[in-house]
């Protein structure tokens, strides 16, 4: 198991954003996390990534208890993520954005003197990552000048620059054009199996095009986990969505 959540709870005052969620994700899985807004999906991501600590419960990454580890240490163990709201370095170029993770992964981030040849090598890697996500030729454009969709693509390249073992994608296709979404889906499908993908997504094409397992959260609680077909047929899932008969409507953004 690459990731195990063991009775994880996170309370904000009296509100329990995530309550007693247990989840096991196998190495190489393509796992989707779905549920209506307020289901606790992003909070759960923050608990896995480490920007939030659970009130109760444990987080295990590759068999190791990381519950008390700060976010940056978890990142170094191999957890990379994208954020729901595009989170890029606006004044840095697209290539520099990717270089942040690439230079850290290469172990040279703390060097205080330039190493031009090494930088060239690392920048080459950045450019090929940018090409992978569909941003070839945009390497030297400041991230602030990229379109919304391009910034979302950039986020994926930044996360991949970390060479993650577990990739957390928070609504990667939100606000993308259909063409961009299709491209993203291809990129994600082509990822090697030594990268496990856990994604939050409302876009059905992405969820059912990619995921081999789907988990439904509802009001902070775990509702069901299964194959896409099982989830579609699950009566508990259907009633949680207030009797919505057609599965497609479940995923329409409120």
Minimum CB separation from other proteins for residue 58, in Å?
A: 21
179, with CB counted inside 10 A (0-12, 13-18, 19+), is exposed
Q: Which of 57, 52, 99, 56 is nearest to 74 (CA)?
A: 52
CA distance 33 to 45: 10
Q: What track of x and - describes contact with other proteins for positions 19 through 58 (by CB under 8 A)? A: ------------------------------x-x-------
Q: Which of 158, 195, 216, 223 binds other proteins (CB under 8 A)?
A: 158
Q: Which of 85, 175, 165, 35 is nearest to 44 (CA)?
A: 35
68 belongs to the binding site for other proteins (CB under 8 A): no
Selected range binding other proteins among 33-41, 104-112, 199-207, 227-235, rule: CB under 8 A: 104-112
88 belongs to the binding site for other proteins (CB under 8 A): yes
CA distance 138 to 113: 27
Selected range binding other proteins among 20-28, 59-67, 92-100, 211-219, rule: CB under 8 A: 92-100
203 belongs to the binding site for other proteins (CB under 8 A): no
- What is the edge-to-edge ordering of all strands in the sheet holding 64-65? 15-25, 3-12, 56-61, 64-65
CA distance 163 to 196: 11
145 belongs to the binding site for other proteins (CB under 8 A): yes
Q: Which of 132, 153, 162, 225 binds other proteins (CB under 8 A)?
A: 162
Q: Residue 171, Cβ neighbours under 10 Å: how many?
A: 21
105 belongs to the binding site for other proteins (CB under 8 A): yes
240 belongs to the binding site for other proteins (CB under 8 A): no
108 belongs to the binding site for other proteins (CB under 8 A): yes
Minimum CB separation from other proteins for residue 192, in Å?
A: 20
Residues 6+ apart with CB under 8 A from 114: none
Selected range binding other proteins among 15-23, 34-42, 77-85, 226-234, rule: CB under 8 A: 77-85
123 belongs to the binding site for other proteins (CB under 8 A): no
Q: How many residues bind other proteins (CB under 8 A)?
A: 39
139 belongs to the binding site for other proteins (CB under 8 A): no
117 belongs to the binding site for other proteins (CB under 8 A): no
71 belongs to the binding site for other proteins (CB under 8 A): yes
Q: What are phi and psi of 70, to 5 degrees?
A: -70, 160
Give the HSE-up count for residue 158: Cα atoms under 13 Å, Cβ half-sphere: 25
What sign for the dihedral angle of Cα 11, 16, 19, 23?
A: negative
Is residue 104 within 8 Å of 95, Cβ to Cβ? no
- Interacting residues toward other proteins by CB under 8 A: 49, 51, 70-73, 75-76, 80-81, 83, 87-92, 96, 99-101, 103-105, 108-115, 119, 137, 141, 145, 158, 161-162
């Amino acid at each position: 198991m690459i990731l195990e959540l063991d009775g994880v709870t996170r309370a904000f005052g009296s509100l329990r954003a995530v309550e007693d969620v247990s989840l096991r994700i196998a190495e190489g899985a393509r796992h989707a996390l779905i549920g209506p807004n307020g289901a606790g999906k992003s909070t759960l991501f923050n608990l896995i990534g480490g920007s939030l600590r659970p009130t109760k419960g444990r987080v295990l990454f590759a068999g190791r208890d990381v519950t008390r580890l700060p976010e940056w240490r978890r990142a170094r163990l191999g957890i990379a993520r994208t954020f729901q709201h595009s989170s890029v370095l606006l004044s840095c170029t697209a290539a520099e954005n990717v270089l942040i993770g690439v230079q850290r992964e290469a172990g040279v981030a703390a060097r205080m003197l330039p190493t031009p040849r090494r930088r060239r090598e690392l920048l080459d890697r950045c450019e090929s990552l940018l090409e992978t996500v569909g941003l070839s030729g945009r390497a030297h454009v400041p991230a602030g000048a990229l379109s919304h969709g391009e910034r979302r693509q950039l986020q994926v390249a930044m996360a991949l620059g970390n060479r993650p073992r577990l990739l957390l994608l928070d609504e990667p296709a939100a606000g993308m054009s259909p063409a961009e979404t299709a491209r993203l889906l291809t990129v994600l499908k082509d990822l090697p199996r030594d990268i496990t993908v856990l994604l939050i997504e409302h876009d059905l094409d992405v969820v059912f095009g990619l995921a081999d397992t789907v988990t439904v959260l509802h009001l902070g609680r775990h509702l069901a986990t299964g194959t896409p077909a099982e989830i579609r047929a699950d009566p508990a899932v259907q009633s949680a969505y207030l009797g919505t008969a057609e599965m497609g409507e479940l995923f329409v953004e409120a």
